[in-house]
Amino acid sequence: MFQNINKNKKFSGYNLIYVNGKAGRAGMDKNVEDIMLNSNFADVLKSRYGTEMIGGELITDGRKEERINGRIYYMATPCDEHKDVQANVSAIFNSYFRQNKKRCVARGEALLRFDDGDYMLPDVGVYCYNNSMTVPIIVIEILSYSTRKRDMTEKMDRYASIGIKEYWIITWEIATIDVYLLGEDSKYSLHESYNSDTVQDFSPASVPGLSIKLDDVFYFVV
């Protein structure tokens, strides 16, 4: 029997069902007691709400989610400008890696897992085989209205906790890239803020051979 059940939390119009620290979406159905008390919880959810258990976590169909500090957040669909910047940044890194035969790759929304059960989907993660293919050397978040606060606080702290060396926050509306570097105190500090009004290109601290043109990052966006 499932213990520690809390079916009263709300998020974005859905009931979040918490079972032993895990969460699932139960729509707006208020009569969920039969589901919560059913020993075949995952099967019932899958048949009724299109959800299922994968690797011990509850995954909803068609809804991206992150678990940050034990709490589930469902992710809104990003705007076109957000997706364009994400594609541009990934292409810049991957073109450089292929041309220079680097054993590295930039991946969009690759699942990043934490030992405590948290998991996140960074907009872009840069991975290198000579470092770790489970922990990126750079993570990049493109600010959205719904995620702005978390990107600047909780997610930043979580990325620092696993030793990611470089964290970028991109604000596409003002064509700005803020680069944070991990210090010896395992906290990020602002290294540089790049804007096309002040600089045309820059090199990441973790990939110094790559020159990134801001016009390429924000191509067809601003």
Q: Are 202 and 193 in contact (CB under 8 A)?
A: no
**Is 203 in a helix, a strand, or coil?**
coil
pLDDT at 112 over 90: yes
Tell me, yes or no, if the pTM score tops 0.95. no
Q: What is the pLDDT of residue 132?
A: 77
pLDDT-based confidence at residue 109 (cuts at 50, 70, 90) = very high
Q: Which of 10-14, 35-39, 75-79, 126-130 has the lowest mean pLDDT?
A: 10-14
What mean pLDDT value characterizes the chain? Answer: 79
| pLDDT higher than threshold 90 for residue 205 | yes
Residue intervals of the chain classified under CATH 3.90.1570.10 are: 80-217
pLDDT for 98 equals 97
More confident position, 44 or 199: 199
pLDDT in tens, 81-96: 999 999 999 999 999 9
Q: 3-state class of 160 per DSSP? A: helix
Place of tokens 């292929």: 98
Does position 187 have pLDDT exceeding 70, yes or no? Answer: yes
The pair phi, psi for residue 139, each rounded to 5°, is -120, 145
Query: What phi and psi values does residue 43 have, to the nearest 5 degrees?
Result: -65, -40
- How many percent of the chain have pLDDT more than 70? 72
Taking residues 139-144, report their average pLDDT. Answer: 94
Strands (E), 137-208: 138-142, 166-171, 176-182, 188-195, 201-202
- Residue pair 118/68 in contact by the 8 Å Cβ criterion: yes
Q: What is residue 8's predicted lDDT score, i.e. its pLDDT? A: 41
CATH of domain 80-217: 3.90.1570.10
User: What pLDDT, on the 0 to 100 scale, is given for residue 146?
Assistant: 73
Angle at 119 between CA 115 and CA 120, to 5 degrees: 140
Q: What pLDDT sits at residue 43? A: 54
Structure tokens at 197: 């009004």
Residue 196: which residues within 8 A CB-CB, separation 6 or more?
Answer: 175, 214, 215, 218
Per-residue model confidence as pLDDT tens digits over 14-68: 334 444 444 444 443 334 334 444 445 445 545 554 444 343 344 444 578 899 9
Q: Per mean pLDDT, which of 148-157, 195-204, 205-214 is the most reliable?
A: 205-214
Neighbours of 103 (CB within 10 A): 11
81-90, 144-153, 162-171, 176-185: segment of lowest average pLDDT: 144-153
